[in-house]
């Protein structure tokens, strides 16, 4: 059944070589009780370790059931120890943190035996050795004889072919020794039992066969066996330990060191706590920015200007690819502004204007078409009628209220009414004041008010009227030129039927929720009023005359320039002059006011659909979403701050990883004997690594959960403090996804920290590990 053929084994220490076995040949029967005797150093234990697969022979061969082991790989030896050999050690070598059932089951677990079957077998062998009443106890709750019985039960549990007993009674009293020997003799009836002992009386009393060793050779054999049986069906079943078993082993070991593990996990969690708080604050501020964008910025218009900066498109110089960064050359390379950003002209065609006008009105609070129009305006103060310098009034066009089935327009949503009424017709204007109800003295002077007064009552402004004069009434032809009418006819124009009467109907101020008001302090009128004036101006005599000549019809000395040359010359274009006369229907900018944040997204999608029909980017219409620009800028700043703070907090994670490595290394030293036991039972090197990886996994998970738990708790006082400082509640909000990722990071880092010690554990020599006390 078992055959040792010319086995030799030597150990070298420095320059000294000790020959433990010297050409040993020995055959064993399938079931017999063999006692190996001999003085210390005779090779007994070495022979036992080689037969048990714990040690390797230098030369010769070990044959089991006709199968040579000379070509065995590491995994084959692991399977051999698990399938064919059961060990009974002098010092029992039980795993102290497992109960006796778990100790007995461990070998079967490595064999892949199901839970119910291995538990059933474990109870059966424990009953066989007389320990059925102690199944819930741990090894330290048993006597020496009882612990040896557990070791015997463990050796028998996986039904091996060979039982290896190394001084099985060496640590027992005489009475207990007899009991153990009787039990081993009973086992030998159907198994091969090889026992190493110094006690010749025990050997002669219980063994069927006595073999004496001296200097690594057999010098006496009481019952030699020459023709061992062979079993050609002998096969090895590979062993493996699943991660759950490794977790169970490590968890029960950790329970014996609860305080140390808890302190280690807490120390490792400090970095997680720091990062968790930073991410909680970042997440909270992100939500505040998002809320700010939705509540305060969503109403800001999407602006479409006639000239826009296109930062995404630029023209490369021909030699740009050849230029390198930080050159050593003493040369200057000209860089044109348009190489990295160029002005993009938005072509506002009639088709595009109609496209804008067809936006779903349910998404809007208003649309404003800003046209650069200089309308002649007259006012009357103290009985005197004069021309108003509209450039000083800080005029702006408010968007007309959308007919979308109800709801407030932009100024109703974004501005508080301080006096009078919101505009109801296109002839109604509003006076906008700043947060302190102030108005620039220049505007007051242009309107004819006492700008040096300490204060002016709101009622003085309500009902204030001005008159817009049409071009045909304001300009008169004199020879080939057009001139402004004389002042002596201003009163007739002011009181004439053609004059457009506009008046201030209300005074408004940006509400507290409007963080970025679009309309600045001054006068604001309806953009529809501009359209009304432009329509008349297009048919006015001065405009028709101006369109025929290339000079200013009111000043022949001012020659118009081409639009392409305007940047490099003093002067204006004919289109500029026509705009001054109110004769341009093309707006200089368009402001689209979304009803809410979701509506803004739909509007942007609608604007993008226009550009999709054009492949040439020059035909695209570019827009500016100020809400998104501001929110992105705020988000980028916050992101940069978060990154820096997380980086600082992450330093403690690196320290924790190093600390975990030290702790696991200490655990490896403490569990060295357990490593030897696992290897003796057939555990692979990777299984040993898995045991310690499981330990780091548990510590990492525990550390991550502690860190996340404490971080969640710390958000409470952090929110209280920040609420007192900023009046914003609930800033610190830890995202559950961040909590999960931080826990995962904790696990990964602890496994990384324990990786080297786990590998060191796997490389330990099982023979040396079993001798560790």
Query: What per-residue confidence (pLDDT) applies to 682?
Result: 87
| Among 238, 268, 288, residue at a domain's last position | 238
User: Has residue 35 been placed in a domain?
Assistant: yes
Q: Are residues 137 and 189 in the same domain?
A: yes
103 and 131 co-located in one domain: yes
Decide if pLDDT at 442 tops 70.
Answer: yes
Tokens of 373: 């129009």
CB atoms within 10 A of CB 108: 22
The pLDDT of residue 500 is 93
Write down the pLDDT at residue 759: 92
In contact, 35 and 207? CB cutoff 8 Å: yes
pLDDT in tens, 22-71: 999 999 988 899 999 999 889 999 999 999 999 999 999 999 888 889 98
Same domain, 306 and 284: no
Average pLDDT for 12-21? 87
- Domain check: are 436 and 580 in the same one? yes
Pairing of strands 465-468, 67-68: unpaired
Confidence (pTM): 0.59
More confident residue, 586 or 539: 539
Note whether 589 and 666 are same-domain residues: no
Q: Where are the alpha helices (DSSP H) in 158-242?
A: 174-187, 200-206
Instruction: Kindly indicate the confidence band of residue 194, based on its pLDDT and cuts at 50, 70 and 90.
Output: very high
In a domain, 183, yes or no: yes
Q: Can you list the positions of beta strands (E) in 495-594?
A: 500-510, 522-526, 551-552, 555-559, 589-594
User: Which class for 602: exposed (0-12), middle (13-18), buried (19 or more C-beta within 10 A)?
Assistant: middle
Question: What confidence score (pLDDT) does residue 473 get?
Answer: 92
Contact 128, 157 (CB under 8 A): no
Give domain status of residue 187, yes or no.
yes
* pLDDT above 50 for 337: no
CATH label of the domain that carries residue 147 = 3.40.50.300
More confident residue, 335 or 387: 387
pLDDT of residue 364: 81
Tell me which residue of 273, 292, 281 sits closest to 641, measured CA to CA: 281
Compute the distance between CA of residue 661 and CA of residue 466 in angstroms, rounded to an integer.
84
Q: Cα(750)–Cα(664) distance, rounded to whole angstroms? A: 10
pLDDT of 592-620, one tens digit each?
A: 888 777 788 888 899 989 988 888 888 88
Q: Parallel, antiparallel, or unpaired for β 307-310 and 342-345?
A: antiparallel
Mean of the pLDDT values across residues 90-105? 90
- What pLDDT is recorded for position 342? 53
The answer to whether residues 32 and 195 touch, using CB atoms and an 8 Å cutoff, is no
More confident residue, 630 or 296: 630
pLDDT tens digits for 304-326? 877 665 544 333 334 444 445 44
Give the model's confidence band at 519: pLDDT under 50 very low, under 70 low, under 90 confident, else very high. Answer: confident
Indicate the pLDDT class of residue 439, thresholds 50, 70 and 90.
confident
What is the per-residue pLDDT for 314? 35
Structure confidence at residue 162 as a pLDDT band (50, 70, 90): very high
- Judge if 145 and 292 occupy the same domain: no
Q: Give how far Cα 70 sits from Cα of 56, 62, 73, 679, 769, Å.
A: 10, 7, 9, 20, 24
Does 512 lie in the same domain as 388? yes
Taking phi over 0 as left and psi of -120 to 50 as alpha, with beta for the rest, 84 belongs to: alpha
Query: Do 588 and 688 fall into the same domain?
Result: no
Q: What are the Cα distances from residue 288, in Å, to 275, 294, 519, 569, 693? A: 20, 10, 25, 49, 41
Q: Does residue 609 lie within any of the structural domains?
A: no
Query: Does residue 319 fall inside a structural domain?
Result: no
Looking at the structure, do residues 278 and 306 belong to the same domain, yes or no?
no
Instruction: Give the number of domains in the chain.
Output: 3
Res 294 pLDDT > 70: no
Strands 475-478 and 481-484: antiparallel
- Give residue 250's region: left, alpha or beta (phi > 0; psi -120 to 50): alpha
pLDDT at position 9, please? 93
Which of 574, 595, 616 is the C-terminal boundary of a domain? 595
Q: What is the mean pLDDT of residues 366-390?
A: 83
Q: Give the number of other Cβ atoms within 10 Å of residue 446's Cβ.
A: 21
pLDDT of residue 341: 45
- pLDDT higher than threshold 60 for residue 298: no
**pLDDT tens-digit series, residues 638-693:** 677 777 777 877 788 888 888 888 988 998 998 899 899 988 888 889 888 988 89
Residue-wise pLDDT tens digits, 198-207: 888 889 999 9
In-domain check, residue 317? no
Q: What is the pLDDT of residue 315?
A: 35
Q: Are residues 689 and 560 in the same domain?
A: no
Which of the four pLDDT bands, split at 50, 70 and 90, describes residue 153? very high
Identify whether residues 279 and 306 lie together within a single domain: no
- Return the pLDDT at 311: 42
Contact (Cβ atoms closer than 8 angstroms) between residue 16 and residue 192: no
Does residue 381 share a domain with residue 415? yes
**Burial of 357 (C-beta count, 10 Å sphere; 0-12/13-18/19+):** exposed
Residue with token string 């709801």: 407
Q: In whole numbers, what is the pLDDT of the chain averaged over residues? A: 83
Phi (first) and psi of residue 152, to 5 degrees: -65, -45
- Percentage of the chain lying above the pLDDT 90 cut: 24
For residue 386, what are the domain limits? 302-310+337-595
In a domain, 329, yes or no: no
Residue 302: pLDDT band with limits 50, 70, 90: confident
Domain membership flag for residue 460: yes
Spatial CA neighbour of 667 closest among 201, 264, 280, 268: 264
The DSSP annotation for 455-516 comes to ---GGGTTT-EEEE--HHHHEEEETTEEEEPPGGGHHHHHHSTTSEEEEEEEEEEE-TT-SS
């Amino acid at each position: 059944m078992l055959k040792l053929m010319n086995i030799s084994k030597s150990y070298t220490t420095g320059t000294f070589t000790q020959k433990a076995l010297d050409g040993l040949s020995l055959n064993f029967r399938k079931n017999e009780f063999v006692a190996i005797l001999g003085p210390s150093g005779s090779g007994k234990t070495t022979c036992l370790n080689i037969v048990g697969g714990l040690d390797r022979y230098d030369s010769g061969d070990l044959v089991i059931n006709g199968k040579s082991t000379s070509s065995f790989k590491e995994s084959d030896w692991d399977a051999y120890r698990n399938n064919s050999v059961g060990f009974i050690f002098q010092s029992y070598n039980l795993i102290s943190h497992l109960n006796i059932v778990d100790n007995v089951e461990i070998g079967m677990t490595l064999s892949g035996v199901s839970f119910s079957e291995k538990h059933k077998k474990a109870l059966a062998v424990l009953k066989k050795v007389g320990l059925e009443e102690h199944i819930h106890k741990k090894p330290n709750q048993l006597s020496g004889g009882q612990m040896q019985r557990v070791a015997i039960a463990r050796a028998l549990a996986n039904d091996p072919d060979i039982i290896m007993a190394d001084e099985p009674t060496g640590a027992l009293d005489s009475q207990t020794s007899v009991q153990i020997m009787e039990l081993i003799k009973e086992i030998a009836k159907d198994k091969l039992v090889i026992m190493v002992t110094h006690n010749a009386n025990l050997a002669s009393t219980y063994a069927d066969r006595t073999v004496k060793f001296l200097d690594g050779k057999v010098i006496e054999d009481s019952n030699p066996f020459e023709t061992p049986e062979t079993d050609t069906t002998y096969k090895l079943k590979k062993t493996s330990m699943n991660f759950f078993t490794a977790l169970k082993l490590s968890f029960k070991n950790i329970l014996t060191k609860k305080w140390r593990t808890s302190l280690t996990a807490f120390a490792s969690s400090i970095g997680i706590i720091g990062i968790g708080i930073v991410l909680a604050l970042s997440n909270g501020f992100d939500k505040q920015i998002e809320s700010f964008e939705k509540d305060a910025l969503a109403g800001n218009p999407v602006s479409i200007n006639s000239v826009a900066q296109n930062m995404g498109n630029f023209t490369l110089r021909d030699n740009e690819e050849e230029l390198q960064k930080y050159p050593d050359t003493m040369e200057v390379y000209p860089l044109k502004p348009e190489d990295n950003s160029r002005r993009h002209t938005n072509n506002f065609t009639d088709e595009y204007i109609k496209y804008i006008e067809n936006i779903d009105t349910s998404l809007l609070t208003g649309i404003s078409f800003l046209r650069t129009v200089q309308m002649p305006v007259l006012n009357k103060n103290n009985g005197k009628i004069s021309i108003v310098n509209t450039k000083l009034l800080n005029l702006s066009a408010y968007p007309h209220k959308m007919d979308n089935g109800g709801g407030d327009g932009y100024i109703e949503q974004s501005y508080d009414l301080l006096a009078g009424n919101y505009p109801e017709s296109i002839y109604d204007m509003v006076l906008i004041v700043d947060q302190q109800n102030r108005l620039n003295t220049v505007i007051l002077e242009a309107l004819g008010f006492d700008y040096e007064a300490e204060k002016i009552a709101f009622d003085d402004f309500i009902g204030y009227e001005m008159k817009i004069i049409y071009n045909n009434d304001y300009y008169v032809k004199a020879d080939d030129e057009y001139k402004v009418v004389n002042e002596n006819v201003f009163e007739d124009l002011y009181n004439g039927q053609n004059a457009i009467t506009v008046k201030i109907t209300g005074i408004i101020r940006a509400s507290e929720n409007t963080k970025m008001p679009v309309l600045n302090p001054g006068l604001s009128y309806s953009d529809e009023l501009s359209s009304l004036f432009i329509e008349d101006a297009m048919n006015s005599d001065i405009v028709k005359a101006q369109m025929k000549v290339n000079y200013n019809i009111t000043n022949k000395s001012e020659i118009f320039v081409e639009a392409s040359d305007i940047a490099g010359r003093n002067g204006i274009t004919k289109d500029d002059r026509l705009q001054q006369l109110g004769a341009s229907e093309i707006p200089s900018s368009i402001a689209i006011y979304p009803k809410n944040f979701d509506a803004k997204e739909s509007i942007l999608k609608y604007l993008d659909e226009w550009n999709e029909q054009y492949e040439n980017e020059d035909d695209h219409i570019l827009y500016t979403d100020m809400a998104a620009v501001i929110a992105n800028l705020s988000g980028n700043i916050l992101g940069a701050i978060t990154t820096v703070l997380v980086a600082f907090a992450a330093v403690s994670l690196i320290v924790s990883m190093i600390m975990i490595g030290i702790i696991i290394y200490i655990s490896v030293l403490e569990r060295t004997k357990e490593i030897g036991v696992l290897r003796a039972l057939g555990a692979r090197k990777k299984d040993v690594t898995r045991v310690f990886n499981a330990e780091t996994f548990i510590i990492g998970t525990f550390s991550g959960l502690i860190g996340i738990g404490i971080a969640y708790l710390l958000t409470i006082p952090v929110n209280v403090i920040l609420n007192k400082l900023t009046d914003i509640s609930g800033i610190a909000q830890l995202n559950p996804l961040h909590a999960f990722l931080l826990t995962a990071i904790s696990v990964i880092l602890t496994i990384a920290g324990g990786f080297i010690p786990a590998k060191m554990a796997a490389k330990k020599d099982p023979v040396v590990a079993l001798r560790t006390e």
